[in-house]
Amino acid sequence: GAVVSQHPSRVICKSGTSVKIECRSLDFQATTMFWYRQFPKQSLMLMATSNEGSKATYEQGVEKDKFLINHASLTLSTLTVTSAHPEDSSFYICSALSALAGGYEQYFGPGTRLTVT
Amino acid sequence: AQSVTQPDIHITVSEGASLELRCNYSYGATPYLFWYVQSPGQGLQLLLKYFSGDTLVQGIKGFEAEFKRSQSSFNLRKPSVHWSDAAEYFCAVGGYNFNKFYFGSGTKLNVKP
């Protein structure tokens, strides 16, 4: 099956710094990728939809200036958490959409654990 | 409004027993329905999906799910649970236009030996 990678898997940063997380589709092209945030023992919350070559679409309540998303190629989307604060500590998961006959499938990356100190 | 409800936060079953995880959805258009499993420290793995056709869907690892439009449900079942099935299970709904996925809050499955 299709594989999506995320890098890094874990990152610890100091408050006020920025962190970039990469999401790659390894063996297929994805015009659409999604970024989710998962709090401990909770479900995935969709943050934004990333479309190759265009601006990301952010969900209500997600600060677009804080969570910068770039989808520069058909296999790479990046999420940059700018001026990170402890409340941004979370598990960030990306997914890539692959079209299928009659529908589609979403392939998930393994996630990135961000800890802001 | 679109939403997914998984009424059971935790479920414990004995190994070898049958399992049913409930999922109800609210969606304004024709739904695409999914079940995912997440093991500790790992990403989400797709168990099965429903787009159209036969309302009983077979998935990996012996799981199946049945789409019931009249009840807005997509319950996941397995006839005999294995200890390795202990994980968190998420139901999700999406639309035909490839955006706006909604996840349920998840059901954590514990398996007793």
pLDDT in tens, chain A (117 residues): 688 999 999 999 999 999 999 999 998 888 889 999 998 777 889 899 988 888 899 999 999 999 999 998 899 999 999 999 999 999 999 999 887 766 678 889 999 999 999
Report the b/e string of B43-69 with b at 16+ CB within 10 A. bbbbbbbbbeeeeebebeeebbbbbee
What's the confidence (pLDDT) of residue B43?
A: 80
Domain boundaries, chain B: 3-112
Instruction: Please say whether the beta carbons of B85 and B25 come within 8 A.
Output: no
Query: In angstroms, how far is CA B99 from the centroid of its own chain?
Result: 19
- Work out the number of other CB atoms within 10 angstroms of the CB of residue A70: 14
Binding-face residues of A in 32-91 toward B, CB within 8 A: 32, 34, 42-46, 49, 57
Dmax over CA atoms of chain A, in Å, equals 46
Given an 8 Å threshold on Cβ–Cβ distance, is B43 in contact with A97? no
Written as six digits, the tokens of B42 are 């790992």
In this prediction, residue B23 has a pLDDT band, given cuts at 50, 70 and 90, of: very high
| Amino acid at the residue B79 | P
Chain B interface disruption, residue of A43, A51, A57, most B CBs within 10 A: A43
For the record, the structure tokens of B40 come out as: 């500790």
Percent of chain B with pLDDT over 70: 95
B76-90, pLDDT tens digit by residue? 999 999 999 999 999
Average pLDDT, chain B: 91
Per residue in B25-41, pLDDT (tens digit) is 998 777 889 999 998 77
Interface residue B110 vs chain A (CB under 8 A) = no
CATH assignment, B3-112:
2.60.40.10
CB A100 within 8 A of CB A1: no
Confidence class for position B96, pLDDT limits 50, 70, 90: low
